Amino acid sequence: KDLYQHPDYYLMDELLSEEQKLIRKSVRDWVKAEISPVIESYAQNAEFPKHLIKGLGEVGAFGPTIPTKYGGAGLDYISYGIIMQEIERGDSGIRSTASVQGSLVMYPIYAFGSEEQRIKYLPKLATGELMGCFGLTEPNHGSDPAGMTTNIKKDGDDFILNGAKMWISNSPLADIAVAWAKDEEGIVRGVIVERGMEGFTTPETHNKWSLRASATGELVFDNVKIPKENILPNVKGLKGPLSCLNQARFGIAWGALGAAMDCYDTALRYTKEREQFGKPIAAFQLQQKKLAEMITEITKGQLLAWRLGILKNEDRATPAQISMAKRNSVETAIKIAREARQMLGGMGITGEYPIMRHMMNLESVITYEGTHDIHLLITGMDITGENAFN
Ligand code: TGC
Ligand code: FAD
């Protein structure tokens, strides 16, 4: 029996369509059947569960908003958010795989690619037959991608790509990489690099304490010959990769709340069952304070994410609004995970419960897709008009 009742303190379900609720049910059932039973062991073994790729494609996690003509699910943004929420309730690392594939690989090919590129790559990316990764961050340029040194130079009709990217989710298993590089005029361009191209390697990054069930690595480009057909023709400049980040950050705004809900749900059940001093620990004021604050923050986050989804559907969400929601949801989730872990006492540090895994995963989520502080500065700049980055 599925005892899980997602927190819905403000009757948010009334704001969802029947289709959105059906999507949630089908993804939730899939997560429960396929992710929950195996994720702890994959995380402990620092291994990506490759066998989940096909199912992720089937539940519509790869490119939910991409039109069906190109193999996407053609859904609205709230449905996309719901899918990310349910997957991240399972594990942030698996949600990362979906975010990268849908928002950071399929989206740029759809939004900035030629029709030939869309037809060649999107349907196979939607099913997971092809896996992709997104290369923006470099060893010396993380928060400040404008400083990137990866570059392409003309070589007859083609290009030669040189440079290196670091911290790239899915790089060790990806068939293609959407990488960002400066051309000879210093303008950022998008390049589709295919595994097997000479001079392209993807060394794996080991010893992570976070997102252990997600494969992370580098992208190394050593004089890689790129046919001109592999350049994304329809975008120039940093707004190319940053537009992709808007899509992925939106997904995280919903996704991180999924991790928060799982931690809250686990802590609520545990405290009702666990007895100390002759009564359930849920009967003590200090535990109730923690639970009450958790549900309050989750509810505020849900309202923010839902409203952002409406604005996205109407194409009115600004990048700064997306930053605020990403930052708020991840902070909510990481604080809830830390409190929930304590509420389980010693049991909270074990793999018997998902909380410590969520907590460690969220240390990456609060850093990637723009750090917590970078998103704060984006809000600061938006409301003051003053750039405090440099
Ligand atoms: P700035 O001068 O402000 O902007 C340059 C151009 O970009 C435009 N722009 C945006 N366009 C679309 N969406 C956005 N969010 C945009 N933000 C800016 C801007 O209008 C301008 O366009 P134009 O036409 O005038 O040239 O850029 P800046 O160099 O000052 O940097 C701004 C800053 C710091 C906010 C930005 O660079 C930033 O967001 N830094 C954080 C980097 C980041 O988030 N990296 C993420 C890497 S990918 C990743 O982490 C994947 S994790 C995957 C997973 O597993 O889920
Ligand atoms: P830095 O930019 O060096 O920042 C270090 C600290 O300085 C941070 O606290 C930051 O907030 C602060 N800081 C920086 N600039 C300022 C400023 N102006 N004012 C105040 N404080 C500042 N990238 C990709 O391109 N593709 C991926 O798929 C991808 N996946 C990732 C997966 C994982 C598990 C991780 C950990 C990262 C991933 N990243 C990916 C990279 C991620 O986006 C970067 O780590 C992130 O953008 C921060 O860059 P950095 O690590 O170089 O930190």
> Please, what are the averages of pLDDT over each run of 10 residues along the chain (390 residues)?
75 97 97 98 98 98 98 97 98 98 98 98 98 98 98 97 98 98 98 98 98 98 98 98 98 98 97 98 98 98 98 98 98 98 98 98 98 98 96
pLDDT of residue 6: 81
pLDDT of residue 70: 98
* Token pair 């959407």: residue: 178
Q: Are 259 and 332 in contact (CB under 8 A)?
A: no
Identified catalytic residue from 47, 184, 369, 386: 369
pLDDT of residue 163: 98
CA-to-CA dists, residue 100 to 86, 103, 105, 177, 347, angstroms: 16, 6, 6, 10, 33
Distance from residue 90's CA to the centre of ligand 1 (Å): 29
> Best of 107, 134, 143, 374 to mutate for ligand 2, by most ligand atoms within 8 A of CB?
143
Distance from residue 368's CA to the centre of ligand 1 (Å): 12
Q: Is 363 a catalytic residue?
A: no
Q: Are 352 and 342 in contact (CB under 8 A)?
A: no
Question: Cα 98 from chain centroid?
Answer: 7
Calculate the dihedral angle through the C-alpha atoms of 315, 319, 325, 328, rounding to the nearest 10 degrees: 180
pLDDT of residue 265: 96
Nearest atom of ligand 2 to the alpha carbon of 144 = 2
Nearest atom of ligand 1 to the alpha carbon of 95 = 56
pLDDT of residue 2: 52
pLDDT of residue 5: 72
Q: Phi and psi dihedrals of 279, rounded to 5?
A: -150, 165
The answer to whether the pTM exceeds 0.90 is yes
pLDDT of residue 1: 41
230 touches ligand 2 (CB under 6 Å)? no
> Best of 171, 242, 330 to mutate for ligand 1, by most ligand atoms within 8 A of CB?
242
pLDDT of residue 371: 98
Residue identifier of the C-alpha nearest atom 26 of ligand 2: 168
pLDDT of residue 17: 98
Query: Among candidates 177, 184, 136, 186, which has minimal Cα distance to 160?
Result: 184
pLDDT of residue 3: 60
Q: What is the DSSP letter of 59?
A: T
